[in-house]
Amino acid sequence: MNNLSELLLRVRDRAEQETEVLTPCVSEQDIADAEQVLGFSLPPLLRLLYLQVANGGFGPDYTLLPLVGDGRTAVAEYGPLRTTHSEYWPRSVLPILDWGCGMYAAVDCLAPDAPVLLFEPNAGPDEWADAWFLDSPSLARWLTSWLDGTGWWEEEVMMPEDGLQPTPWLDAARRLAASV
């Protein structure tokens, strides 16, 4: 079994433990339809999460958004963020989790490792690029931090006031400029 298979099994096990009823997984056709609407491909691991674990409803705190379906979905969130707010939402950055208060976890679908980004607009950034942070260098590491209880969102881990600050997403300004 390879690392990706093991990670998917761990995620599925944890999702089953923490969720009363997992939503049914999406189909390959659902993925193809979503990618058609989005205008970009999903990274392999994100695709497998929706195909083999569930259509959202699992993961850190507020849980992953469903990819498709009724109500709030990753695809439905992306459209308005891009069309109404392109000055602060880069192309091919898919929101996967709504932290509340305007904050999102999002996956950079253009990068090979699918980094997870944190959009945090509440600090009143001078430039929208200042609202973007690198939450994790890869979706795999982000999921592992959830599984291991080491994510910044964990109550025991939350950053103290004098602790390390989130790392800015260095590519934010360039990606935002290219997205308008």
Which overall architecture, per CATH, does domain 3-179 show? 3-Layer(aba) Sandwich (3.40)
Question: Which parts of 21-154 are beta strand (E)?
Answer: 93-100, 103-108, 116-119, 132-136
Output the pTM of the full model.
Answer: 0.92
Band (165; pLDDT cuts 50, 70, 90): low
Q: Judge whether residue 6 has pLDDT over 90.
A: yes
**What is the tens place of the pLDDT at every residue in 115-145?**
999 999 987 778 899 999 999 999 999 999 9
